[in-house]
Amino acid sequence: MLADPKQIMRYSEAEKALIKKAFKDNPALYALRNLFWDLELSESEQKLLNFEADTLKLIKKVFIPEISGEIPLNQQVDFTADPLLENLHQMNPALAVIMLDANDLMAEYLNQQFLKLVNEKFEGGIILKDLKKKMGIDQDEIRHINMLAYKSIKGYIDTRVYELKYLSDPPVELTPEQQKEKNKKNSTQ
């Protein structure tokens, strides 16, 4: 399917409505965050993570982005957009491979957590907090990769959760008169 030429944001109006329905004033957003943070989930949190297929598809679009023809111009995102790879072209090959390995580990972890959500099996696999652990002396490179992946995952999860929170309850747009009044109040403080 081709992108709607009038759509300027990564998410369609229907997808934004679904985000509002699924997450506005709903603790499911926090349960989802806890899942991706690999925190222990209570029974009630696990129940909150029982999403319909259309919501799972949207969560995948947010957390596991893929290149797609449905995405508007200048809105394509995938895991290569990670800051780890931003200056890849300026790195020597040995450092570049470390960054690529860390990016691959991040993608593997996020895919694993999404599959836990889909399969409703909330255990096993890569343990996020273990990526920060000290390792043997001969494993410095692996520890470096693990920590880079951890830092990238940390920023990534928070950004995606905030994106869902923002889209589920966007700020009210002010009329020009309201904006003028707000600016006037701000200038007198």
Which among 123, 146, 121 is positioned nearest to 133, based on CA atoms?
A: 146
Residue pLDDT, tens place only, 145-179: 999 999 999 999 999 999 999 999 888 887 788 77
Q: What span, in angstroms and rounded, lies between the C-alpha atoms of 66 and 60?
A: 9
Taking only the tens place, the pLDDT of each residue in 14-66 is 999 999 999 998 899 999 999 999 999 999 999 999 999 999 999 999 999 88
Domain ranges of the chain: 13-188
Q: Residue 138 has what pLDDT? A: 78
Q: What is the pLDDT of residue 168?
A: 93
Q: How far is CA 79 from CA 10, 47, 60, 71, 83, in A?
A: 15, 29, 13, 15, 10
- pLDDT for 8 equals 75
Residues 6+ away with beta carbon under 8 Å from 143: 134, 135
